[in-house]
Amino acid sequence: MIKLDGASNLGLLQQVQDKQSSLLEKLASGKQVNKASDDAAAQLIIDRLTSQTEGSRQAIANAYDGISLAQVAESGLANINEDANRIRELTVQAGNGALNDSDRQALQSEISQLQENIALTVEQTNFAGKPLLSGDQDIKFLVGDSAGANINVETNNVTDSISGLLSIDVTDAESRQQALDIADGSLETIGSFRGDLGATQNQFASAARVLSESSINTQAAQSRLQDLDFAQATSELAAAQVQGQASLSVQAQSNQQQGQVLALLS
């Protein structure tokens, strides 16, 4: 009795076809791991690295928003500093004994205008609707992919801090004696605020650089796990296609032999 067993060949053919489908899916996506069934452990690591990369990307955006906010606040202070310097200059000029009351009144008019400019700058210096020069607060920015990695932008109530400057009156002899010290103190305060904001901007810039480097390394690690080696996959696909063609040929011969045997038996 002749026994023809095509089951083993059919099983091999199915395995070859499954491998071809898997390789075609990988080549189409460019990924070595497309789903957990491809490599459960690798997929878990890839998901974790993906989450870390996305978190770092948002943290970098937060850092640059922090830089922008600090720059807006520092720009407002720079304008105030310019007006304060002019007030000081006019205060010195008011101490000129050759001036009369009318002259000092003209100087005071310009000083009053500068004081109004300062108040307006304080009012209008905002970032996304958040006042930056009219209150003491810490504005927190998360600049890491874990909780607590914050950089704070410290804002100050500038109006209260330089209230003496905003009330200088050079037409009054007694007030005029103290005006220069008040102007100098106000300029020192403004300079201190600007220095703090400059240092904070440097913190943000440093954090953004570190995050960018970390993100690049994380993406590289993810790529090594996930990205497909096209040369290897193409070679494997070619081999699988040859195996598939051979299996089909064997199966065809097996079917032909079975048909001949059945014809003889009948």
* Tens digit of each residue's pLDDT (9 = 90 or more) over 191-220: 999 999 999 999 999 999 999 898 888 878
Both 118 and 18 in one domain: the answer is no
DSSP, collapsed to helix, strand or coil, labels residue 171 as coil
Asked whether residue 167 is assigned to any structural domain, the reply reads yes
Asked whether residue 46 is assigned to any structural domain, the reply reads no
| Chain-centroid distance, C-alpha 157 | 29
**Who has greater pLDDT, 63 or 224?**
63
Both 133 and 93 in one domain: the answer is yes
Average pLDDT on 50-67 reads: 90
Asked whether residue 133 is assigned to any structural domain, the reply reads yes
Both 123 and 24 in one domain: the answer is no
Both 190 and 120 in one domain: the answer is yes
Asked whether residue 81 is assigned to any structural domain, the reply reads yes
Asked whether residue 137 is assigned to any structural domain, the reply reads yes
The pLDDT, as a whole number, for residue 48 is 85
Contact (Cβ atoms closer than 8 angstroms) between residue 52 and residue 168: no
Structural tokens at position 220: 């590289």
* Tens digit of each residue's pLDDT (9 = 90 or more) over 8-50: 555 555 555 555 555 455 555 556 666 666 677 877 887 788 8
Both 190 and 243 in one domain: the answer is no
10 Å CB burial of residue 5 (0-12, 13-18, 19+) is: exposed
Both 90 and 21 in one domain: the answer is no
Asked whether residue 14 is assigned to any structural domain, the reply reads yes
> If we measure between CA atoms, which residue out of 39, 36, 26 comes closest to residue 230?
26
Both 142 and 206 in one domain: the answer is yes
Residue 247: pLDDT above 90? no
**Domain harbouring 179, CATH code:** 1.20.1330.10
Contact (Cβ atoms closer than 8 angstroms) between residue 255 and residue 6: yes
Structural tokens at position 46: 């890839």
Both 172 and 99 in one domain: the answer is yes
Q: DSSP letter at 131?
A: E
Structural tokens at position 100: 């009369």
Asked whether residue 44 is assigned to any structural domain, the reply reads no
Average pLDDT, the chain: 81
Average pLDDT on 73-80 reads: 97
Indicate yes or no: pTM above 0.85: no
Sign of CA dihedral 237, 239, 240, 245: positive
Residue 1: pLDDT above 50? no
Residue 55 neighbours by CB distance under 10 Å: 17
Asked whether residue 1 is assigned to any structural domain, the reply reads no
Phi then psi dihedrals of residue 32, to 5 deg: -75, -35
The pLDDT, as a whole number, for residue 261 is 53
CA distance 175 to 196: 31
Residue 4: pLDDT above 50? no
The pLDDT, as a whole number, for residue 43 is 79
* Tens digit of each residue's pLDDT (9 = 90 or more) over 133-167: 998 899 999 998 777 789 999 999 999 999 999 99
The pLDDT, as a whole number, for residue 186 is 96
Query: Domain span at residue 12?
Result: 7-30+228-265
Structural tokens at position 139: 């504005």
- The DSSP element (H or E) to which 127 belongs, if any, is strand 126-127
The pLDDT, as a whole number, for residue 54 is 87
Both 140 and 86 in one domain: the answer is yes
The pLDDT, as a whole number, for residue 230 is 45
The pLDDT, as a whole number, for residue 3 is 42
